Amino acid sequence: MVNSQERLLQHIGVQGLIAVIGGSLGGVCAMEYALRYPQKVRGVITIAAGPKATTLHKLHNFEQVFAIEEDRNFNYGNYYDGDVPRMGLMLARIIAHKSFVHLDVMEERARGEIVQQADDLKGLQAAAPDRELHAAPGEALCAALRREQLPAYFKHVAGV
């Protein structure tokens, strides 16, 4: 990825950099650039990026890819002439959101809007109040997603 950036810098005549800076994936790219071209960089500034992915990061990545690829509109990535995998992308964003927003902040944003009875451990009645409690959890969640209840909630609470 950083090779194209180096080619651009060469093309415009930049011989060296005081620092490479990036956040998240950009931070990983900054580290990669400094490793590949150490003679051209004096410093590296990363924000929200680490030199190694943890097991939790890898699990989150797997969940996100799975959510997108299992969307009925994914079509093996060939969705440019059809519907985009909106549901899979939304679920991937929900998964990612858990990894970088503190739970206290999410709770504050929710402002008590998540209503779940103590005896409704799977959240079936909250997700799909018109369904009976013996419905499969995935079925209730899909019904709620189709009704766009969860997307509206996440737009408000999670900022997606």
Q: What is the pLDDT of residues 24-35, one digit of tens each?
A: 889 999 999 999
Task: Report the pLDDT averaged over residues 82-94.
Answer: 90
Separation of alpha carbons 60 and 96, rounded Å: 7
Type of residue found at 102 = H
User: For 136-156, what is each residue's pLDDT tens digit?
Assistant: 444 555 555 555 555 554 554
Integer Cα distance of 20 and 33 in angstroms: 8
**Residue 90: pLDDT band with limits 50, 70, 90:** very high
Q: What is the CA radius of gyration of the chain?
A: 21
Mean pLDDT on 82-89: 90
pTM given for the model: 0.55
